Amino acid sequence: MHSGLSAWGQSDPQRGTAILAEPLLNKGTAFTERERDILGIRPLLPPRVFTMAEQVQRSLGAVRRKQDNIEKYIYLTNLQNRNEMLFYRLVIDNIEEMVPLIYTPTVGEACLQYGSIYRRPRGLFITLRERGRIAEMLRLWPHEGARLIVVTDGERILGLGDLGALGMGIPVGKLSLYTACAGVHPYYTLPITLDVGTDTESLLNGPFYIGINEHRARGKTYDDFIEEFCQAVKEVFPRALLQWEDFGNANAFRLLRRYRSVLPCFNDDIQGTAAVALAGLIGALALKGGALSKQRVLFLGAGEAGTGIADLYTTAAMQEGLTQAQARANCWFLDTKGLVVRGRGDTLAEHKVPYAHDHPPVHTLIEAIRALRPTALIGVSGMPAAFTKEVVGTMTQINERPIIFALSNPTSKAECTAEQAYTWSRGRVVFASGSPFGPVQFEGRTFVPGQGNNIYIFPGVGLGALASEATEVTDEMFLAAARTLAGLVQKEDLEAGRIYPALTRIREVSLAIAAAVAQVAHERGIARVARPADLAEDIRGRMFQPDYPDYT
C-alpha cells in the first residue's frame, strides 16, 4: 500500500479523498504539507499541521467537556469511525479514563440507546432473513481475512436482558478492547450481531428499534441458523477465532459445548469471567492467607458466570489435591428459588446439577451465609444492592478477612458498592467489583478496590490463541491465564487492598497471558504454527501500535 503511494509523481485527489474516508488510513490534521500535496487534499483540511500528540490532547479535552458518559461514548465512537489510529492512541494513553467510557459501565446505556445514537455501520448484522446465504453475507465484509470475531445474539446484554439488535455495542466494544489492551490489529477484527428477534415487547413496539420486528427464534430454527453461521465462519474465515458474547443461559453452555471443538471459540461470560474471578480469589488469599482448596464459596446467581467460575475453581482445586466431588462441594449457589440443593422440588438447569448438594432448603442469602459459613461471597446475579449491611456484617463476623466480589455489570446492577463493602466490614473486606469504583477513604486508610473485569483475561487469551493459531481454546488456557494474572499483582497493589494489577499495565498483562496461552497450545499439540524461540518476544512483535502511516 505505502509503496504505491510513494510512487506517485503527482497529486491523486481521488485516492486522497478515499484515504480521508478510511478510518485506518486517515490522519486528519496530522497529514504533513508534502502528504497533502501528494494526495491532493491540501484544500480539504485546515492549514495547520498537528502532531498526533497534539491531536490526542485536543480529543481528550473534547471528551472531558462532554456533560455525561453517553455523550462521551458518542464522541469516542465518532472518533473511531473517522480516525482509528488517533482513537486507539487516545485510549491507550488514558486507559483508566477511557475503558469505562468505551465499555462497562457506559456500554450498557449505549446499548439501550443504540437505535437512537446509531451513526455509521460497524460490523455485520446477520438476520434470520439471510438463512441459506450467511457465507455470502460474511464475504461482503470489506476487510479480507478476519481473524477475530465477537458475536452476540443480544439475548443477555450485561445485566440488562434481551436487547436484540441493540446488543451490537457489545461486540464493537469488546473488539476495541482487544486492540487497545492486547494489540490485536483492528483490520482483522469483526463484530457480528445475529439478529434472531427479541422478546422485549417495548422494543418490538418502539418506533426506532433497528432489528427485525419478530419474537426471538427458538428450537430448531435457532439451532439451524447458528449451525449455518459457524460453518460459514469456518469456510470464509478459516483462521478466525470466535468469541461468543452475551448469549442467554439456555444457549450459552450448549453452544460452547457444541462448537468448541468445531472451530476455535470461547464464551467470555463463562470462561473469561471464571478466570478473572479465580485470579481474584488467588490474589485475595495473598492478603488473608489460606489455600484455595480450603475456601468455601457462595454464589449469588446461578447463571453462566457463576457456574463458569465454579467449574474453573474445581479444576484449580483438583490441582491442589482435591477430588472433583470435594472441589465441587466447596461451591454453593443461591438462585431465585433459594439454595441450589438436591430434591428442591424444581427441575434444575443442566449447568446447576453438579453443584446441587445435600442440604435442607434455604430461601434467603442471609440464611445461606449463616448456614454455610462461606469464606467468599461472589455476586453474579444482576440484583442491585443484594449485599446489604446485614450481609456484609455477617460475612465479617464469620471471617477475619471476608472475600466479597460484587461482579454484576453495569454499575447499576452491582450487588454493593466499594464504599459500602469497606464501611460495613470496618475495612476488613477483600473486595472486587465488575464495574469500576474509585478509592475509598475509611478511618485514615485509602482502599483501592480491584475491578474483576474480564478485560484482564479475554484480550490476552485471544491474542495467545491467535499467535499460536490454536485449533481449540481449552479450559487449561483459562486456568493458565488466571494464574498468570494473579502472579502479576504487585506488593503495592496488595498493600492498597487491590487484588488485580493496575489497569495502566494492561498491555503487559495481556502479553504475559498471551504467552502462557500460546505455551499451552504448543505443549498440547494444538498450535498450527511452529513454536518460536521466544514466545513473549514473538507476540510482542505482533502487537498493534497506533502510529500513522507515512504517505510520502
Catalytic residues: 103, 174
Sign of CA dihedral 97, 100, 103, 109: negative
Query: How distant, in Å, are the alpha carbons of 150, 180, 321, 405 from that of 174?
Result: 7, 10, 36, 22
Query: What CA–CA distance (Å, rounded) separates 40 from 63?
Result: 31
Q: Coil, helix or strand for 433?
A: strand
Query: What CA–CA distance (Å, rounded) separates 433 from 352?
Result: 24
Query: What CA–CA distance (Å, rounded) separates 251 from 303?
Result: 11
* Phi and psi angles of residue 439, each rounded to the nearest 5 degrees, phi first: -60, 150
The count of residues in the chain is: 552
How is the beta sheet containing 189-195 ordered, strand by strand? 124-127, 189-195, 148-152, 241-244, 265-267
* Phi and psi angles of residue 450, each rounded to the nearest 5 degrees, phi first: -80, 145
Query: What CA–CA distance (Å, rounded) separates 297 from 294?
Result: 10
Query: What CA–CA distance (Å, rounded) separates 76 from 59?
Result: 9
DSSP class of 547: -
DSSP class of 357: B
Query: What CA–CA distance (Å, rounded) separates 363 from 341?
Result: 11
- The phi-psi region of residue 154 (left if phi > 0; otherwise alpha if psi is between -120 and 50; otherwise beta) is left
Contact 255, 226 (CB under 8 A): yes
Q: Tell me the angle at which helices 95-102 and 69-82 cross, rounded to the nearest 10 degrees.
A: 100
DSSP class of 271: I
